[in-house]
Every structure is written in C-alpha cells, then in structure tokens.
C-alpha cells in the first residue's frame, strides 16, 4: 500500500462507505449495498470524486464531477447519511439518483452491487501485519494478541471517515480493554504523521505504521476494519464508516465467546 496510490485512488473518503457489504457468517450473501464512488460534501450536494472502474456507479454512467442532489427522490443529506441509505438498500436494489452535471439535472438509476472481496477471508487466519508501534503500549503482532478480540483499523490522516470512526474506537478500547479487546490502528503514513493525528484525536488505543499492511490485507478503501476473534481468526471485514452501535454490538458478541 503506497500512500498516494491508495489514498486518492481508493474510494477513500466516505466513498466506498456507500459501497460497503457485510458477508453472512456462513457465506450466504450480503447485507449492504455497494455503489463505488468517492464522495465529499459541498453546499450543493455530494460531489462525486472518483468512480471505481467496473462498479455499479460506473455501469450506471455516474461521472466524476457529478453532484448528487437527490437520492431516491430526497436530499442525500450528509455523506454518512447517504452511505447508510445505500447500505440499507442492499445488494441488487435499484437506487435512483439525480445529479447536477454541467448545470443540468440528470437522472441516474443505479443497481447496487456487492462490495469487492477483500484480501482476508472470514474464518481464516489473517496475514502478518509487519507493523511498527507509534503510540500505545500494546503489542502489534497478531500472534501476541491471541486470546483477545482485535479490531484492526486501516486508516489515513486525510481520510475523513477514518477520523469520524476514531472516537468510537477510542470509547470501545477504554470500555472493553480490560475484558479482552485490543484496538489497533494501522496506517502506511509516517510515524510522525500517525503520532500527530493520534495526539489531535486523543487516541488511547495502539497506533502503528506498516508500509505493507494494506497490500497484505488487500485494502483498497479507507477506513477498512478487520475484526479478529479470540482464536485469531477473521470474523468480519467492513469497508467505510461504521456507526458506534454496530461496532459495540460486534465487540460484545465476540467478547462473549469463550477463549480457545
């Protein structure tokens, strides 16, 4: 994962948020719609930055520079609200958009898809991170964390959704750390940048840098969260902003499982 290539190409900001899918534990389908665009907030609406090749957005004709002014007949709201709406609609749903394009309103009908498969598989042991600790006092090698529930959060300083999720991860770490939870934030940026963001955000969990972690985990969008159970196996991979309630439900469910 080399900074610029991942950062600006990879539907970072809330982009693939609006394109997140959560696989069923038994592998039977998904519970979230996937659009495949990079989005940012503007006074007019949601500005489309990059459109992921071969995504539902690209197939529907959505273009970089379009401004989404309506989603299913209503104002799209914030990026997070739009993301939640796309996710809730589900794979295969028809999702109507109205966009501003060259000062004209254009109707774009998207059939939502399934998020691209990730480099880690549910039920499998994740690859080594090969990370260097920047902040915090916990180990960063996953083998040393066996017996604990681990949330590996891939993030970057320029990623708005990453910063949005950090306070929730902070609270989870503080509330459930003594019960067996470890939160590990991983970035491919420099230690100085990671440390600066950590101090700005008052991060209490462990931050680490890894120039190869993203590529090992096939991370193409940020934030990407990998949940690992006490047995050291991947239980969930999610792309994009996760709300505090869902994160806490995931953590409490995994913590309730008996250690191997």
Active site residues: 159, 162
CA distances from 203 to 13, 136, 172, 187, 197 (A): 20, 9, 11, 14, 8
Q: How many CB atoms lie within 10 A of CB 235?
A: 19
- Residues 22 and 145: their CA atoms lie apart, in Å, by 24
- With beta carbons less than 8 A apart as the criterion, state whether 92 and 112 touch: yes
Strand order in the sheet with 46-51: 37-41, 46-51, 67-71, 94-101, 104-111
CA distances from 52 to 17, 88, 186, 200, 210 (A): 13, 20, 24, 31, 25
- Residues 171 and 179: their CA atoms lie apart, in Å, by 13
């Amino acid at each position: 994962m080399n900074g610029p290539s991942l950062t600006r190409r990879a539907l970072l900001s809330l982009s693939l948020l609006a394109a997140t899918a959560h696989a069923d534990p038994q592998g039977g389908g998904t519970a979230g719609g996937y659009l495949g665009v990079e989005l940012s907030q503007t006074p007019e609406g949601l500005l489309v930055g990059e459109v992921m090749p071969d995504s539902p957005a690209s197939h529907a004709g959505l273009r970089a520079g379009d401004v989404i002014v309506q989603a299913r007949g209503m104002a799209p709201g914030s990026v997070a609200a739009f993301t939640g709406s796309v996710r809730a609609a589900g794979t295969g749903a028809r999702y109507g958009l109205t966009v501003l394009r060259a000062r004209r309103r254009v109707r774009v009908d998207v059939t939502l898809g399934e998020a691209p498969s990730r480099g880690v598989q549910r039920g499998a042991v994740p690859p080594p991170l090969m990370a260097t600790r920047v902040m915090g006092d916990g180990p960063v090698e996953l083998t040393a964390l066996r017996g604990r529930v681990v949330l590996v959060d891939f993030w970057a300083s320029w990623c708005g959704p990453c910063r949005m999720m950090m306070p929730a991860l902070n609270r989870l770490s503080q509330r459930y750390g003594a019960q067996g939870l470890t939160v590990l934030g991983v970035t491919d940026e420099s230690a100085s940048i990671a440390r600066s963001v950590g101090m700005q955000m008052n991060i209490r969990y462990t931050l680490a840098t890894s120039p190869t972690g993203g590529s090992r985990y096939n991370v193409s969008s940020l934030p990407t969260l990998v949940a690992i159970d006490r047995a050291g196996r991947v239980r969930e991979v999610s792309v994009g902003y996760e709300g505090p309630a869902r994160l806490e439900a995931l953590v409490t469910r995994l913590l309730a499982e008996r250690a191997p």
